[in-house]
Amino acid sequence: MQPLFTIHAGEYLVGSHIEQELRDKDGNKFNVWVPSKDTGIDLLVTNHNNSKVVSIQVKFSKDFLVTHGRPEYQKKLTSCGWWTLNRNKIHESPADFWVFVLHTFNQTNRQYVIVPPKQLSEILNELHPNVKSLQTYLWVTASKKCWETRGLKKKETDLIVDDNYRGNDKRNFSDFLNNWKRVIDKLT
C-alpha cells in the first residue's frame, strides 16, 4: 500500500515541540499545519485564533557525534549535525524561518537552530563563498553554545569544545539555538 501523505521525522519533531512547549504571553498554544503541496514550506504555524501565521522549512540531521565524533569531544558536545544545503534554495526560500533539528542520541533532548533564511544565506555566503552545494556542520556544546564548524582545523574545533574559540563570529549560531522568540513574536 502506498502512503498518500507522510512527513519526515524533523517535521514531526518541530511540530510536536511547538504544540507541546510553545505558548503566547497569555498561555495559549499555537496551531501547526502541514501544507498539502511542496512549496518550500514544511510547516505553517498559527496563533490560537489562526489570525497570524509563520512558515517554517525544517532540516533534520541525525547526531554524528556518536558515530563520527572524536573520543575526546564526546563529553564536551551535546550533538553534531551535518546538512547539505543548496545556496539558491536558501536565498529564494519563501519560509519565514529555517529550523535545523539535531536529534541527540546520548541524551533524551533535541536541539533546534531557528534562523531566518535571509540571515542564514548571508552567514553561509561569508563562511563558504563560491560553492553551490553547501556542506554545513552545526555543533552544540555542553555549555549550550552552537557553532558552524565546517572547514575548521582540529586546533580550532578544540577551542570550540573548550569554549575558547575567538575566530569568525559568523560561525557562532548560539543566538539561534533553541531560541523560538522570533517565531513567537511574529505570532503575537
In a domain, residue 134? The reply is yes
In a domain, residue 32? The reply is yes
In a domain, residue 84? The reply is yes
**Which is it for strands 97-103 and 53-61: parallel, antiparallel or unpaired?**
parallel
Structural domain total, the chain: 1
Domain range holding 161? 9-187
Confidence at residue 95, expressed as pLDDT on a 0 to 100 scale: 99
Confidence at residue 3, expressed as pLDDT on a 0 to 100 scale: 58
* Digitized pLDDT (tens) for each residue of the chain, 188 residues in all: 555 667 899 999 999 999 999 999 999 999 999 998 889 999 999 999 999 999 999 999 987 776 667 888 888 999 999 999 999 999 999 999 999 999 877 666 899 999 999 999 999 999 999 887 799 999 999 999 999 999 999 999 999 999 999 999 999 999 999 999 999 999 99
Cell of 71: 573520543
* Sheet architecture: strand order including 53-61: 31-33, 43-46, 53-61, 97-103, 110-115
Return the number of other C-beta atoms located less than 10 Å from residue 107's C-beta.
10
How many whole angstroms from its chain centre is CA 41? 14
CA distances from 15 to 29, 70, 161, 171, 185 (A): 12, 32, 30, 27, 17
In a domain, residue 159? The reply is yes
Confidence at residue 24, expressed as pLDDT on a 0 to 100 scale: 97
In a domain, residue 1? The reply is no
In a domain, residue 3? The reply is no
CA distances from 124 to 85, 131, 137, 162, 169 (A): 10, 10, 11, 24, 12
**Cα–Cα dist 111/62, whole Å:** 11
Full-model pTM: 0.93
In a domain, residue 90? The reply is yes
Q: Is the dihedral of CA 68, 69, 71, 75 positive or negative?
A: negative
Q: Which residue's C-alpha cell is 554524528?
A: 64
In a domain, residue 50? The reply is yes
